[in-house]
Amino acid sequence: MSSESRTENPFTARFIDDGSKVLLELINEGDQTLKSVEVLTIFLKDEETPGGGPSQVNIKFQDTERIHPKEKVVLSHRTWINGKPVDANRDQIERLKIIAGELKPYVLDISWENAEGKSRFQRIPVGH
């Protein structure tokens, strides 16, 4: 991958199991410090309404102030159902893990500011 491409899409992401929790690891593969990094809220498809319906579940990730070049950060999250935070027993993060050969119906939408203070955006397909 070229350096220019890495500058435009600096992030790689993976989900890691941390005991009883699944966390999102973001890696800045670029050569610039990225500031005000935010993973936008993900609204999951409704699995309870036949034929689908409005999303009842969303996942919000912790923001991070900056990620230095080649640095990894681990972000926690919170699952909300019908507008209310839920406990670990009802967490839905597993639905965002990638399974080889399965469609990736969701996207991590990541925004940040580059070294010049310009807002940038990257999308990473995830889920199953």
Q: What is the pLDDT of residues 88-107, one digit of tens each?
A: 999 999 999 999 999 999 99
Residues 6+ apart with CB under 8 A from 63: 36, 37, 38, 39
- CA–CA separation, 28 and 69 (whole Å): 6
pLDDT of 5 > 90? The answer is: no
**pLDDT number for residue 6:** 52
CATH value of 3-126 in 2.60.40.10, 3.10.20.440, 3.40.50.300, 3.30.70.260: 2.60.40.10
Residues 6+ apart with CB under 8 A from 109: 39, 40, 42, 121, 122, 123
Inter-residue contact 56 to 21 (CB < 8 Å)? no
Mean of the per-residue pLDDT values of the chain: 91
Structural domain boundaries in the chain? 3-126
SS3 of 76, please?
A: coil
pLDDT of 27 > 50? The answer is: yes
**pLDDT number for residue 18:** 85
3 — pLDDT class (breaks 50, 70, 90): very low
pLDDT of 4 > 90? The answer is: no
pTM above 0.75, yes or no: yes
* Mean predicted confidence (pLDDT) in 31-59: 91
Inter-residue contact 41 to 58 (CB < 8 Å)? yes
**pLDDT number for residue 51:** 76
- CA–CA separation, 100 and 51 (whole Å): 26
